[in-house]
Amino acid sequence: MDEKAFNEKMNGTKNFHLRRAVERLREGLFDPMGVQWLTSGEEKLNQLFDRGAAALNKGTSHHLCICGAYGQGKSHSLTYLKQRALENNFVVSYINLDPRQIPFHDFKAVYRALMGAMVFPNGETSLATLWKKTAAQWLARPENKDKSINDFIPGDMPHRFRAILAAMANKNMDIAASKLNLKKHARFQPRSFSWTLKNALMGKEIPAHKLGGVFHYREVDFYKGRSLACHEPKEYLAMVKGLARLFKDMGYGGWLLLFDEGESIGQTRITSRSKSYDLLHEIFCPENPAQGFFPVFAFTHDFFTLVETEPWDRTRSPGGRRKTDQPTDDIPCFARNYHKAWKGINIHSLQDLSSGEWETLSDKLKILHGRAYGWKPEAAGLSTELSKEMMQILSQNKGAESRMKLRLLVNQLDLEQQKTPC
């Protein structure tokens, strides 16, 4: 962002947001508004995003791994990509992976988190509401008069979720009032249908028999064709890919999925890591690329060091009872050597800012701090001396994390503000 655009942003922003951004920087946190104003290397991030968007426009998928040390700007970069994607008509979900709350190997939990964090370009956050509206518009088109909503839903989605989407688009079955009290219509509870379908779509535990009743009265003709159970992690990954394709068909650029704290995958036991690596392989090296699917992971360098040093030839004994006279072979812990398989994945390594970039960032920070707290660090005589002090702080802390450097710069500005007369 050039100086003119930066000043225009400052002038059009309320003082509350300016102060909040400075206060979060002071605590070592990043702020969405601060990401817009203080991002360095935005040209490279724009290029990375545009490359992925171009791949999606060609009908394929794309992935990206942002790699850097703690405090180097991985979360900052993901937030910038989120804002960039929303500006370019993408659906976006941003989650923090956690080995306890959102472990990557339990992709059902990951799916629920992604659905809960979903944001649309127009500010809408309810997929159910948007889907009903889009489905009605699609069915109303003259060219679709002989089609059903099943033709619009991607066929590679898990059966359970295809039926859920179809039921959301359909209306309740017409039942005569005189027959509503009959025993065979005991499951007809239309007031709960919308709640049931919405929560089932979000990945919550809704029993198959309850869903079956909803599907019957919403006249989903194909729901009995296969099991409505959905337990396997890869089924939820397939649903994520299916939704990405559906978003593409709905007119969006695709679905950008941002996974922060990706190194937490390596903080679990070996059996969980094996499952996580298998899911990552489906994302990094898919046999059939999914349209509209754009996942971005933030990793530390330690994660790829772990992948390089994993005992890929390690085996384990099979579980369960075994007869002593029938020896069984050990089972490999990993399906393949993922270090070799992932040689061609897309990795963007974050670099430390140059002295010139830090100088530009310091000048922007002075303006932001001054506007937030109503003083003028750019006053004659003060600006040059203050700039020297800020650059000296940076030179004394070359090995510090980027967010620590920003904290030190904000602290210096606080001290200078206290020296100025009221």
- pLDDT tens for residues 53-95? 999 999 889 999 999 888 788 888 999 999 999 999 999 999 9
**Best CA proximity match to 203, nearest among 251, 249, 237, 250:** 237
Is it the case that residue 326 has pLDDT exceeding 70?
Answer: no
**Best CA proximity match to 281, nearest among 302, 312, 255, 256:** 312
Mean pLDDT of all residues belonging to the chain: 88
Looking at the structure of the chain, the number of domains it has is: 2
What local confidence, expressed as pLDDT, does residue 327 receive?
59
Mean pLDDT value of segment 218-222: 91
What local confidence, expressed as pLDDT, does residue 328 receive?
67
Query: Considering only 34-38, 203-207, 217-221, 373-377, which range has the smallest mean pLDDT?
Result: 34-38
- The answer to whether residues 229 and 268 touch, using CB atoms and an 8 Å cutoff, is no
**Best CA proximity match to 153, nearest among 289, 249, 251:** 249
What local confidence, expressed as pLDDT, does residue 380 receive?
46
Please report whether residue 207 resides in a domain: yes
276-317 pLDDT tens trace: 999 999 999 999 889 999 999 999 999 999 999 999 999 888
What is the rounded (10 degree) CA torsion for 267, 315, 311, 263? -20
Please report whether residue 274 resides in a domain: no
DSSP state letters, 236-280: HHHHHHHHHHHHHHTTSS-EEEEEE-GGGGGGS-HHHHHHHHHHH
User: Going by DSSP bridges, is the β-strand pair 331-332/315-316 parallel, antiparallel, or unpaired?
Assistant: antiparallel
Inter-CA distances, 405 with 25, 29, 357, 417, Å? 10, 12, 13, 18
365-383 pLDDT tens trace: 888 888 888 888 866 455 6
Q: What are the residues facing 64 on neighbouring strands?
A: 296
User: Going by DSSP bridges, is the β-strand pair 64-67/293-299 parallel, antiparallel, or unpaired?
Assistant: parallel
Please report whether residue 187 resides in a domain: yes
Is it the case that residue 349 has pLDDT exceeding 50?
Answer: yes
What is the chain's Cα-based Rg? 26
Query: Considering only 33-47, 210-224, 282-296, 354-368, which range has the smallest mean pLDDT?
Result: 33-47
Is it the case that residue 345 has pLDDT exceeding 80?
Answer: yes
Torsional sign, CA 161, 167, 168, 169? positive
Please report whether residue 138 resides in a domain: yes
CA distance 355 to 360: 9
More confident residue, 334 or 72: 334
Please report whether residue 217 resides in a domain: yes
The rounded percent of the chain whose pLDDT value lies above 70 is 92
Domain boundary among 183, 200, 225: 225
Inter-CA distances, 68 with 91, 183, 300, 381, Å? 25, 63, 5, 38
For 381, counting Cβ atoms within 10 Å of its Cβ (0-12 exposed, 13-18 middle, 19+ buried), the class is: exposed
What is the rounded (10 degree) CA torsion for 237, 348, 84, 131? -10
Domain boundary among 206, 225, 244: 225
Please report whether residue 53 resides in a domain: no
Torsional sign, CA 137, 140, 145, 150? positive
What local confidence, expressed as pLDDT, does residue 325 receive?
59
| The length of the chain, given as a count of residues | 422
Which residues make Cβ contacts (< 8 Å) with residue 37, sequence separation at least 6? 1, 6, 9, 10, 21, 364, 368
Is it the case that residue 255 has pLDDT exceeding 50?
Answer: yes
User: Domain span at residue 6?
Assistant: 1-40+355-422
Please report whether residue 220 resides in a domain: yes
Q: What are the residues facing 67 on neighbouring strands?
A: 299, 349
Domain boundary among 225, 241, 271: 225
Please report whether residue 244 resides in a domain: no
265-282 pLDDT tens trace: 999 999 999 999 999 999
145-199 pLDDT tens trace: 889 999 999 999 999 999 999 999 999 888 877 787 777 787 788 889 999 999 9
